[in-house]
Amino acid sequence: MGEIALLGLEFYGRHGVRPEEGRLGARFVVDLWLRVPFEGRGDRLEETVDYAAVYALVEEVVRHRRFYLIEALADHLAEALLQAFPRLEGVRVRVHKPHAPIPGVFRDVYAETEKVRS
């Protein structure tokens, strides 16, 4: 099973439980690991997953939907990717919220989920 990684996809979104997070928004970073059976399949786009289409789907969700929890955003992205791309056997999604409203010093906060096609 092959794996394709798209790392560090950055978007401005309005996710969070606090009203100001919905009003002001913040930067979110998404990492994806896509399990695709591409070995021995040839050298055509139809044999894998179109990265540009994956990026467009993630951008649409992160920029234009609102989630209170990054956990829910990660789960939704995983489901949407599996539904939109039948060649995917599985997906791991990590959503970072580097500017989470936490009173203290921290490097990163993220939620991660992994789903496989049933």
Burial class, 59, CB count within 10 angstroms (exposed 0-12 / middle 13-18 / buried 19+)? middle
Residue 113: phi and psi, rounded to 5, are -140, 155
In the set 81, 97, 113, 115, the catalytic residue is 97
End-to-end Cα, the chain, rounded Å: 16
The SS3 call for residue 82 is helix
Known catalytic residue: 115? no
Q: Count other Cβ atoms within 10 Å, centred on residue 110.
A: 18
Residue 80: phi and psi, rounded to 5, are -65, -40
Q: Residues with catalytic annotation?
A: 97
